[in-house]
C-alpha cells in the first residue's frame, strides 16, 4: 500500500487543522475508506483518526424537543436506542436495512453520510471516472449501469449515493453541524450532497478540514413517529444496496394528510427529497389515488441514464407502497427484515 | 500435518462403509479455534511476500512497466517480469495431456484476458509488495475485446466437457417434433459465474536446492505435482505438496493454474521462501470460471403428454487460447424418456480466462434450462409438472438405452412431494397469495449427476500396539473427507475410528486421484476398502498359518476382522487380537496397498447416475418484483450414504447454490472492455443468510451393486441441479412470468400488478 501518515488529534480544533492539509482525509470506522485505499481508489497522504475525540459519540435529547446525534455514534447503537427508534422509526428501520450486523456495529453516523458511491467504475481504477479523476470521463454512462441514477444525473456522472440512513434523515429535515477552519456552522442535510453537474468530483458542500460533529433532527421530526416507514427493494434479501428505496412519513389530522415527507434513495447522487410530491399530498385524504399522483410528481423529472428505465417505474411503485405503509401506521416493533417487502413474512429471523 | 482429535463412538458401531454414522467433522474443533493450517497460514523463516500485478485490459499487449519505480519502493526485493524470471523446463503453452490448461506465467507480453498476471513484485512485507505492484503503472497496446455469446464466428468444438462428444442423438428429432401434438421452442441464457471459494488461491513455496516444498490448496495433489515437475524439470520425488485443508475448491483448485506457478518461480528467483495469495478480484480471470451459455430447447409431446422429441442446443464460450466447453446440453441425455433426443453445442472465443469445471459443470447450466423447458412443456400440455415428469420417467437411459445401475428417482419424487405438500399445488400460475398479499409459487426440478469413479491408491497398516493407519493423499475441501474416509478406513481395518491414524492431504501419500466429479468418496473409499481388505488378508495369513494361533487352520473357513480382533467365521468364540498375532509373529506391523478404479465392464453395461427431486416455494412482491425463496425440499438417491450429517450439508450447499444460480449469481461483464465489474463479494451476489430458507433434505435409500464396491454415488454436485430449475419454475408459478435469462431480476417481474 501507499505509505501514509496517521495522526490522532486530541481535539476537534487539532483535527480540523490536520485535515485541512492537502491529501488529508478523516478516518472514522473506515468501513468504506479502507476498502477504497486497498483498491487504490483513494490514496491519501494522511489519515486523521477522529475516533478518539471526546463527546462525539452521544445521542442527546435537546430542550427544544429535537435530538442531536454525535457523529461517532455507531449505526447499530443509534438504531438500537429504544427512545430514538420510537421517535424516528423510519430512521432506525433504514439503519437496520443497511449493510450487515458487523458493519453496522462499526460504521458511524458521519461515515454513513460521507460514504462514496458504489458505482463500479468509480471503484475500478482502470476505468474513467470524473468523480475519481476530474475531467477523465465517465465509463458508466455507456457501461453496465442497471443500478445507476435516474434523477439529477449529468452526462459527466450517473452515480448514486448509496446511503439508506440519509433517506429518512433528509425527509425529516436533518441538519448537519460542521466544525471548520472558521468555526462552527450548520447546513441542511439536503444541501450537503451535491448533484454532479459539470463537477462530479465535488460531492459535498464541504471545505477542506470540515468535520461533521453532529446530525440534528428538529422537534417537528418527532411528529411523524406514528406514521413513518422506510422501504428498500434490493437484489437479495439483505446485505445489498438499494435498487430503489423510499422513506415516507405522514401526519394525519381529521382524516387528511396535514403534512407529508417523502425521499428516495438509490436514484441520484444525493438522498432525493421529493418536495413536489409532498406538496400534492397536503390536505388530501390518504388514498391510493393520491399516492399515485404523488409518485408521478416525485418521478416527473426522472429519465434513464442507461439500462435502468425500470427503476423509474419501480420508484413510483415504491413511493405508493411506502406511503401506504406509512398511513397504515408504524409497527410497534421494527420488523425482523427491516424495510424489506418481505417484512411481514412470518418466521423471518435475519436482518 | 495437524493433530486430529478423534471422536469417541461406541465400539460396536460401523462407521461409514456400512450403515454410516453421522459423526461430526473430526477437524471441526481445529477450524473453529483457527488452528487448522491453511496454505497461507504457513510462514517459513525468511519468507517474502509476492503480489501479482494483473492486466486491466482484456486483449492486447503490455508495452511498458515502470519496474524501476517498483524496485525503488522500500522493502521491494525483486520484480519478476517476462524479461526477468527463472526459466521453465517446458513451454507452458504446450498441452501435455487433456488435464493441462494453458497458463500465463509471464511467458510473453501478450494479454489474453483481464486480471491476467503481467508481473510479480516480491517484497519483505505484503504492503510493500502491494504498493510495488501499483507502482508498475503498466501501459498497453489495446485490441478490441471479444465479449459475449455473439463475439465473432461460432464453431463446433471437437469435444465438450472432458472428452464428451459435441453432438449426440438417438432417434429422429425433427420427425418427432413434426409429429408432436404440442411443442415448445424456448431460449435460455445463463451468465458467467466464478467459483469464489472463501479461501483464495494461495501458495507458500520454498526451494532447498532442487527440492521444492509447497503449501497450496489443491483438489488434485498428484496432478499438481506432475505439472510442477514438468514445468520446473524436476523429479516427482523432489516435490512435496501439503494441502491438508481447502477453504472450498468447487473445481477451481482442481488443476494447476498460473498464479501458484508464479509463486514457485518467484521463490526460485529470489532464493527465499515466497508466499503468494490472490486478491479476491484476481480470482476473476486466471483460475477458471463457469462459462455463459445460451440454450435452445425444442420439445414435442403427443396428445397424452408423452415426449416425442427433445432437442437441446447450447452455445457457450471458451478463451481465445485454450479449450473448455461447458457441456450444458448433455443434461438432456439421462432424465426424460424421449424417443428422439439430440444434443449439440457450438461456441465462440472471447477475451476471458479459460472457463473450467465449476460445481456441476454442464449439469448445472443444462439443468436450469432443461427443467425450465420441461416445466413449460408440462404447462403447455396442461399437466402437473410432477405428473408430467412421471409420465416421461426414463426406465432406461434415454440416450444410450442402457439400464440404470440403480435409480430410486421415483421414490425421490414421492418422498419429496409428500414432504413438500406438492399435491395441493394449483396447476395455473399466480393463484396463491400469503396473508400479506405476496404472490406464492411452487416449482420443482429433477436433479441428476453421473456417478463417476477415478483411480486411487491407499496404504493400510496394522501395528503391534493394536492400532492401524490408513494413508491416502485425499483432499478435504470442506466436504468432510477427513471424517468420511476415516470412517471407511475404520470399518475396513476392523478397528474403532479412535484406533486408526488417518493420513491425507499430502503428496507423499498414495495418489487419491482428483477430488472432483463428486467422485472422491467413491474413489478414495474404494482404494481404502481394498487396502484394508489386503492388510487384513496378510494378518489373517500370519494367524491361520501359525499353529500356535487359535485361528490356525481357519484358512478355508475364513476369518472376520472386528474390533481389533480376527475371529473364525464359522466359530466366533475362537479368535485373537491383532496385537497378539503381530507379537507372536515378531513383526512391528503389516502393511498392504490397495487401489480403487472404475469397473469398465459395469460401465459398459449400466448407466450410472445419482438422482433427486427438488421442490421450492417462492414469494414475490406483486408490485415490486423482489423474490424470496421461502421453502425448499430436496430428496436425493445417491447410493450408500457414508456420513449422513456431512451428506446433508453437501446437499444443503448444493441447493443453496441452485437458489443462487436462479436468483443471484452473475459476473457483470462490461460489454466494451470485457472487464468484470463486480469482482468482489459485496457486488457478486450469492445468497446471504436471509436468502436461504428452511431447507429439508431427504436421502432416499438406494443400494447400487454396480457403481463400486461400496455402492457410493457421490453428493458433491447433484444438489445444484434440479434446485435452480425448481426456484425458476416457482417464480413462474408465483407470477405467471417466464423468465428465461438468469439470474431472474427484479425488472423482469415488474409487470402490472
Distance from CA of B691 to the nearest CA of A (A): 6
**Closest to B494 in 3D by CA, of B541, B563, B560, B542:** B563
Mean pLDDT, range A151-172, rounded to an integer: 98
* Phi-psi region at B480: left, alpha or beta (left = phi > 0; alpha = psi -120 to 50): left
CB contact (8 A) between residue B669 and residue A142:
no
**Closest to A350 in 3D by CA, of A110, B14, A340:** A340
**pLDDT value for A2:** 83
Chain A partners within 8 Å of B672 (Cβ): 142-143
Pairing mode, strands B239-242 and B211-215: parallel
| Phi, psi angles (nearest 5°) of residue B82 | -65, -20
CATH number 2.40.50.140 is the correct assignment for the domain at B28-36+454-597:
no
**pLDDT value for B11:** 40
Mean pLDDT, range A193-214, rounded to an integer: 97
CB contact (8 A) between residue A314 and residue B624:
yes
In whole angstroms, what is the distance from residue B5 CA to residue B497 CA? 11
In whole angstroms, what is the distance from residue B72 CA to residue A214 CA? 44
In whole angstroms, what is the distance from residue B183 CA to residue A256 CA? 56
CB contact (8 A) between residue B688 and residue A318:
no
For every residue of B629-680, DSSP letters joined together read EEEEEEEEE-B--S-HHHHHHHHHHHHHHHHHHHHT----B-TTT--BTT-S
**Domain B362-452+604-749 class in CATH:** alpha beta
Distance from CA of B617 to the nearest CA of A (A): 13
CB contact (8 A) between residue A3 and residue B131:
yes
Helix (H) or strand (E) holding B90: none
Q: Where in chain B is the domain with CATH 3.30.365.10?
A: 28-36+454-597, 362-452+604-749
**How many A-B residue pairs are in contact by the CB < 8 A criterion?**
105
Mean pLDDT by 10 residues, chain B (753 residues): 44 53 93 96 98 98 98 98 97 90 96 98 97 97 98 96 96 98 98 97 97 98 97 98 97 96 98 98 97 98 98 98 98 98 98 97 98 98 98 98 98 98 98 96 98 97 98 97 96 94 98 96 97 95 94 85 93 94 97 96 97 98 97 97 95 98 98 97 96 96 94 96 98 98 97 73
Mean pLDDT, range A48-52, rounded to an integer: 97
Q: In terms of CA atoms, which chain A residue is nearest residue B687?
A: A236
CB contact (8 A) between residue A236 and residue B664:
yes
**A198 and A187 Cβ atoms separated by less than 8 Å:** no
**Closest to A239 in 3D by CA, of A343, A334, A342, A351:** A351
Distance from CA of A65 to the nearest CA of B (A): 36
Helix (H) or strand (E) holding B343: strand B341-350
pLDDT digits (tens, 9 = 90+) for A281-300: 999 999 999 999 999 999 99
Chain B partners within 8 Å of A321 (Cβ): 623-624
> Is B672 touching A (CB cutoff 8 A)?
yes
**Closest to A149 in 3D by CA, of A56, A265, A41:** A265
Helix (H) or strand (E) holding B590: strand B589-596
Chain A partners within 8 Å of B134 (Cβ): 2, 40
Q: In terms of CA atoms, which chain B residue is nearest residue A118?
A: B683
**Closest to A26 in 3D by CA, of A36, A41, A16, A35:** A16
Q: In terms of CA atoms, which chain A residue is nearest residue B689?
A: A350
Please report the residues numbered 76 through 135 in chain B whose beta carbons come closer than 8 angstroms to any beta carbon of chain A.
127, 130-131, 134
Question: In chain A, what are the domains?
Answer: 5-52 (3.30.43.10), 223-328 (3.30.390.50)
**A247 and A164 Cβ atoms separated by less than 8 Å:** no
- Average model confidence (pLDDT) for chain A? 96
ipTM value = 0.96
Distance of CA A124 to the CA centre of its chain: 23
In whole angstroms, what is the distance from residue B640 CA to residue B689 CA? 30
With vertex at residue B660, the alpha carbon angle to CA B615 and CA B417, rounded to the nearest 5 degrees, is 5
pLDDT at A349 over 90: no
> Is B670 touching A (CB cutoff 8 A)?
yes
> Is B664 touching A (CB cutoff 8 A)?
yes
Distance from CA of A31 to the nearest CA of B (A): 12
In angstroms, the Cα distances linking B244 to B504, B507, B524, B529 are: 7, 10, 15, 22
| Phi, psi angles (nearest 5°) of residue A328 | -70, -20
Helix (H, G, I), strand (E, B) or coil at A98: coil
CB contact (8 A) between residue B690 and residue A143:
no
Of A124, A314, A340, the CB nearest to B746: A314
In whole angstroms, what is the distance from residue A5 CA to residue B69 CA? 21
Picking from A100, A341, A346, A349 by the largest number of B CB atoms within 10 A of its own CB, the best residue to mutate is A341
**pLDDT value for A178:** 98
Mean pLDDT, range A111-139, rounded to an integer: 97
CB contact (8 A) between residue B625 and residue A314:
yes
Amino acid at each position: 500500500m501507499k505509505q501514509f501518515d496517521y495522526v490522532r488529534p486530541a481535539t476537534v480544533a487539532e483535527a480540523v487543522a490536520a485535515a485541512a492539509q492537502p491529501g488529508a482525509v478523516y478516518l472514522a470506522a473506515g468501513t468504506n475508506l479502507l476498502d477504497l485505499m486497498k483498491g487504490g481508489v483513494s490514496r491519501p497522504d494522511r489519515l486523521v483518526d477522529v475516533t478518539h475525540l471526546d463527546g462525539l459519540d452521544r445521542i442527546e435529547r435537546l430542550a427544544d424537543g429535537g435530538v442531536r446525534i454525535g457523529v461517532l455514534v455507531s449505526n447499530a447503537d443509534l438504531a438500537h436506542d429504544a427512545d430514538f427508534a420510537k421517535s424516528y422509526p423510519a430512521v432506525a428501520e433504514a439503519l437496520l436495512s443497511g449493510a450487515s450486523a458487523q458493519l453496522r456495529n462499526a460504521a458511524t453516523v458521519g461515515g454513513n453520510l460521507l460514504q462514496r458511491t458504489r458505482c463500479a467504475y468509480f471503484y475500478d481504477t482502470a476505468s474513467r471516472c470524473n468523480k475519481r479523476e476530474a475531467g477523465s470521463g465517465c465509463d458508466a454512462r455507456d457501461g453496465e449501469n442497471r443500478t445507476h441514477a435516474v434523477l439529477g444525473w449529468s452526462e459527466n456522472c450517473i452515480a448514486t449515493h448509496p446511503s439508506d440512513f440519509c433517506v429518512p434523515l433528509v425527509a425529516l429535515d436533518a441538519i448537519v453541524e460542521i466544525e471548520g477552519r472558521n468555526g462552527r456552522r450548520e447546513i441542511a442535510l439536503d444541501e450537503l450532497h451535491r448533484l454532479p453537474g459539470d463537477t462530479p468530483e465535488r460531492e459535498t458542500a464541504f471545505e477542506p478540514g470540515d468535520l461533521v460533529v453532529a446530525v440534528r433532527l428538529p422537534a417537528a421530526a418527532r411528529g411523524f413517529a406514528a406514521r413513518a416507514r422506510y422501504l428498500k427493494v434490493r437484489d437479495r434479501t439483505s446485505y445489498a444496496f438499494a435498487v430503489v428505496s423510499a422513506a415516507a412519513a405522514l401526519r394525519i389530522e381529521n382524516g387528511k394528510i396535514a403534512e407529508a415527507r417523502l425521499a428516495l434513495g438509490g436514484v441520484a447522487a444525493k438522498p432525493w427529497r421529493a418536495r413536489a410530491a409532498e406538496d400534492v399530498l397536503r390536505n388530501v385524504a390518504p388514498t391510493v389515488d393520491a399516492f399515485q399522483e404523488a409518485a408521478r410528481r416525485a418521478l416527473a423529472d426522472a429519465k434513464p441514464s442507461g439500462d435502468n428505465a425500470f427503476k423509474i417505474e419501480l420508484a413510483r411503485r415504491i413511493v405508493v407502497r411506502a406511503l401506504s405503509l406509512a398511513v397504515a401506521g408504524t409497527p410497534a416493533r421494527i420488523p425482523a427484515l427491516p424495510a424489506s417487502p418481505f417484512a411481514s413474512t412470518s418466521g423471518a429471523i435475519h436482518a | 500435518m495437524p493433530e486430529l482429535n478423534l471422536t469417541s463412538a461406541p465400539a460396536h458401531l460401523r462407521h461409514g462403509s456400512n450403515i454410516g454414522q453421522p459423526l461430526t467433522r473430526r477437524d471441526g474443533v481445529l477450524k473453529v479455534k483457527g488452528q487448522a493450517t491453511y496454505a497461507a497460514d504457513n510462514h517459513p523463516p525468511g519468507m517474502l511476500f509476492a503480489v501479482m500485478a494483473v492486466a486491466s485490459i482484456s486483449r492486447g499487449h503490455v508495452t511498458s512497466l515502470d519496474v524501476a519505480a517498483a524496485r525503488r519502493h522500500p522493502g521491494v526485493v525483486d520484480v519478476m517480469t517476462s524479461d526477468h524470471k527463472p526459466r521453465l523446463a517446458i513451454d507452458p503453452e504446450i498441452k501435455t495431456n487433456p488435464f493441462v490448461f494453458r497458463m500465463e506465467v509471464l511467458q510473453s507480453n501478450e494479454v489474453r484476458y483481464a486480471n491476467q498476471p503481467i508481473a510479480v513484485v516480491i517484497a519483505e512485507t505484503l504492503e510493500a509488495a502491494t504498493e510495488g505492484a501499483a507502482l508498475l503503472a503498466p501501459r498497453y497496446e489495446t485490441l478490441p475485446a471479444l465479449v459475449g455469446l455473439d463475439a465473432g464466428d461460432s464453431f463446433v468444438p471437437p469435444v465438450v466437457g472432458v472428452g464428451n462428444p459435441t453432438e449426440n442423438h438417438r432417434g429422429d428429432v425433427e420427425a418427432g417434433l413434426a409429429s408432436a401434438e404440442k411443442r415448445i421452442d424456448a431460449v435460455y441464457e445463463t451468465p458467467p459465474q466464478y467459483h469464489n471459494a472463501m479461501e483464495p488461491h494461495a501458495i507458500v513455496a520454498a526451494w532447498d536446492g532442487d527440492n521444492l516444498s509447497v503449501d497450496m490448496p489443491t483438489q488434485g495433489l498428484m496432478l499438481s505435482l506432475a505439472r510442477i515437475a514438468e514445468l520446473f524439470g524436476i523429479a516427482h520425488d523432489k516435490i512435496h505438496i501439503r494441502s491438508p485443508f481447502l477453504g472450498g475448491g468447487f473445481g477451481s483448485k482442481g488443476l494447476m493454474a498460473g498464479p501458484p506457478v508464479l509463486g514457485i518461480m518467484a521463490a526460485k528467483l529470489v532464493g527465499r521462501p515466497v508466499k503468494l495469495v490472490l486478491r479476491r478480484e484476481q480470482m476473476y480471470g486466471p483460475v477458471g470460471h463457469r462459462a455463459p451459455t445460451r440454450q435452445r430447447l425444442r420439445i414435442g409431446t403427443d396428445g397424452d403428454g408423452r415426449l416425442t422429441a427433445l432437442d437441446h442446443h447450447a452455445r457457450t464460450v471458451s478463451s481465445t487460447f485454450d479449450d473448455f466447453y461447458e457441456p450444458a446440453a448433455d443434461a438432456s441425455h439421462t432424465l426424460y424418456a424421449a424417443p428422439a433426443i439430440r444434443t449439440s453445442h457450438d461456441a465462440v472465443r472471447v477475451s476471458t480466462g479459460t472457463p473450467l469445471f465449476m460445481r456441476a459443470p454442464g449439469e448445472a447450466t443444462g439443468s436450469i434450462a432443461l427443467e425450465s423447458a420441461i416445466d413449460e412443456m408440462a404447462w403447455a400440455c396442461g399437466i402437473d409438472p410432477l405428473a408430467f415428469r412421471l409420465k416421461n420417467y426414463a426406465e432406461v437411459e434415454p440416450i444410450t438405452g442402457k439400464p440404470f445401475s440403480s435409480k430410486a428417482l421415483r421414490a425421490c419424487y414421492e418422498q419429496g412431494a409428500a414432504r413438500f405438500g406438492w399435491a395441493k399445488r394449483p396447476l395455473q400460475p399466480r393463484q396463491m397469495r400469503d396473508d400479506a398479499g405476496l404472490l406464492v409459487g411452487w416449482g420443482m426440478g429433477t436433479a441428476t449427476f453421473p456417478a463417476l469413479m477415478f483411480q486411487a491408491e491407499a496404504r493400510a497398516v496394522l501395528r503391534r500396539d493394536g492400532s492401524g493407519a490408513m494413508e491416502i493423499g485425499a483432499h478435504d475441501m470442506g466436504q468432510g473427507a477427513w471424517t468420511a474416509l476415516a470412517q471407511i478406513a475404520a470399518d475396513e481395518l476392523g478397528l474403532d475410528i479412535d484406533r486408526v491414524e488417518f493420513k491425507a492431504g499430502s503428496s507423499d501419500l498414495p495418489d487419491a486421484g482428483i477430488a472432483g466429479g463428486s467422485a472422491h468418496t467413491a474413489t478414495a473409499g474404494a482404494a481404502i476398502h481394498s487396502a484394508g481388505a489386503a492388510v487384513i488378508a496378510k494378518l489373517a495369513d500370519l494367524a491361520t498359518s501359525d499353529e500356535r494361533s487359535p485361528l490356525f487352520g481357519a484358512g478355508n473357513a475364513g476369518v472376520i476382522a472386528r474390533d481389533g480382533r480376527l475371529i473364525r467365521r464359522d466359530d466366533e468364540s475362537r479368535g485373537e487380537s491383532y496385537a497378539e498375532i503381530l507379537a507372536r509373529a515378531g513383526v512391528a506391523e503389516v502393511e498392504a496397498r490397495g487401489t480403487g478404479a472404475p469397473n469398465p465392464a459395469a460401465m459398459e453395461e449400466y448407466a450410472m447416475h445419482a438422482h433427486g427431486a427438488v421442490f421450492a416455494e417462492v414469494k414475490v412482491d406483486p408490485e415490486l418484483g423482489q423474490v424470496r425463496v421461502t421453502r425448499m425440499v430436496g430428496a436425493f438417491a445417491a447410493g450408500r450414504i457414508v456420513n449422513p450429517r456431512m451428506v446433508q450439508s453437501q446437499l444443503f450447499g448444493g441447493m443453496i447454490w441452485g437458489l443462487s444460480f436462479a436468483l443471484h449469481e452473475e459476473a457483470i461483464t462490461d460489454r466494451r472492455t470485457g472487464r468484470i465489474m463486480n469482482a468482489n463479494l459485496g457486488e457478486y451476489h450469492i445468497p446471504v443468510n436471509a436468502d436461504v430458507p428452511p431447507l429439508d433434505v431427504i436421502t432416499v435409500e438406494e443400494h447400487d451393486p454396480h457403481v463400486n464396491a461400496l455402492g457410493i454415488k457421490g453428493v458433491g454436485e447433484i444438489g445444484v441441479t434440479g434446485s435452480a430449475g425448481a426456484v425458476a419454475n416457482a417464480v413462474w408459478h408465483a407470477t405467471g412470468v417466464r423468465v428465461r435469462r438468469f439470474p431472474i431480476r427484479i425488472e423482469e417481474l415488474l409487470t402490472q400488478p
